[in-house]
Amino acid sequence: MSTPSDLPGARSRRPGRLGIGVIGAGRVGAVLGAALRAAEHAVVGVSAVSEASRERAELLLPGVPVLEIPQILERSELVLLAVPDDALGPLVEGLAKLGAWQPGQLVAHTSGRHGVGILAPIRAAGAIPLAIHPAMTFTGMSLDLGRLADCCFGVTADPAMLPVAQALVVEMGGEPVVVAEGDRVAYHAALAHGSNHLVTIASQAAEILGRIGIENPSAVLGPLLRASLDNALSVGETALTGPVARGDVGTVAAHVEALAELGAAPGGAGSADILDAYRAMARATAVRAERRGMLPAGRRAELERALGGPETDSDADPDAAPGEDR
């Protein structure tokens, strides 16, 4: 079995440096490839199919040849798979059928959802699976490189290879956080819920302000949302405030009425999701506020009635304990 130091080009680099192939010059792959290159690893090839990915590779990985995937695997000691979650399994399996994976080769994917189990075909070929997912949104531009210094990576690997995965993250400037194989989906769900849904909520709030004639919604929302996020990350649910957390039933009812009118107004058909989201998040907030003892007895039931919609007090008992029949 060959080892990384036996692969082509290894002897031309100082000890500990790897020849790295990047599969997928999307926003993540190109940036991580550039970060590893800045750590003095050699990026020996990159795959880039679309015009945008080719431009990104040229910008962030200048001088690196754009190659077909089998060529990259042949040259690489470490292969970085930066492809969409649903494409990862078929790609790995297809290349295994071609006999493209090399014994001793390190193969790291950047998927948040998957651990190393999805890389079983490369393990069967004698290659070494790693999962290193950056918990960050990427622009695909050079400014992302500076942001890696504040970025945690969800790392999953076999115990013997975990230090290798952690070292790669540290070399890119990130902070490795070990995630068990069976916890990867929950880990990814937490990040998607916190990040993606934050964007949805901010966009909905900006749309409401825009609909009532405020010309620069971001100027109004920016300081508030930044402070709310900082407070939530610093002190958790202690930061809960607003009409739901205070149990201001009349205000919540007025919000629901206003948002319903907004959706019914001319041109408001596309805003129907805002009321649905408001109701869902208000209910979740009420549950957490009640759990913390912030609401007077019976106030959550009043909030449920004020919120209306498909989950009213006639359908469910808001005071029931989790798991009780309703």
3-state secondary structure 152-168: EEEEEECHHHHHHHHHH
Rounded-to-10 torsion of CA 15, 18, 19, 20: -170
Relative to beta strand 106-109, strand 78-81 is parallel
Q: What is the mean pLDDT of the chain?
A: 90
Percent of the chain, pLDDT > 90?
A: 85
Residue 269 pLDDT: 66
Nearest to 72 by CA among 51, 53, 40, 95: 95
Six token digits for residue 50: 């679309």
Residue 323 pLDDT: 36
Q: Render pLDDT for 116-142 as a digit per residue (tens, 0 to 9).
A: 999 999 999 999 999 999 999 999 999
Q: Determine the average pLDDT of the residues in 132-155.
A: 94
* Residue 166 and residue 176 in contact, taking contact as beta carbons nearer than 8 Å: yes
* Residue 252 and residue 307 in contact, taking contact as beta carbons nearer than 8 Å: yes
Q: Render pLDDT for 253-304 as a digit per residue (tens, 0 to 9).
A: 999 999 999 988 887 766 789 999 999 999 999 999 999 999 999 999 999 9
Six token digits for residue 283: 């209910």
Query: Which is higher by pLDDT, 189 or 1?
Result: 189
* Residue 204 and residue 274 in contact, taking contact as beta carbons nearer than 8 Å: yes
Nearest to 46 by CA among 21, 26, 70: 21
Alpha carbon 161 to chain centroid, angstroms: 24
Rounded-to-10 torsion of CA 192, 163, 158, 131: 30
How far CA 48 is from CA of 68, 190, 201, 279, in Å, comes to 9, 30, 34, 43
Q: What pTM did the predictor assign?
A: 0.84
Q: Which of 9-13, 87-91, 150-154 has the lowest mean pLDDT?
A: 9-13
Question: 62 Cβ partners below 8 Å, 6+ apart?
Answer: none
Q: Determine the average pLDDT of the residues in 171-191.
A: 97
CA distance 227 to 183: 30
How far CA 230 is from CA of 75, 187, 225, 236, in Å, comes to 45, 21, 8, 9
Got the DSSP string for 285-321? HHHHHHHTT-S-TTHHHHHHHHH-SSS-TTT--TTSP
Residue 278 pLDDT: 96
Q: Render pLDDT for 39-82 as a digit per residue (tens, 0 to 9).
A: 999 999 999 999 999 999 999 999 999 999 999 999 999 999 99
Given a cut of 60, is residue 318 above it in pLDDT?
no
Question: 317 Cβ partners below 8 Å, 6+ apart?
Answer: 326
Residue 310 pLDDT: 60
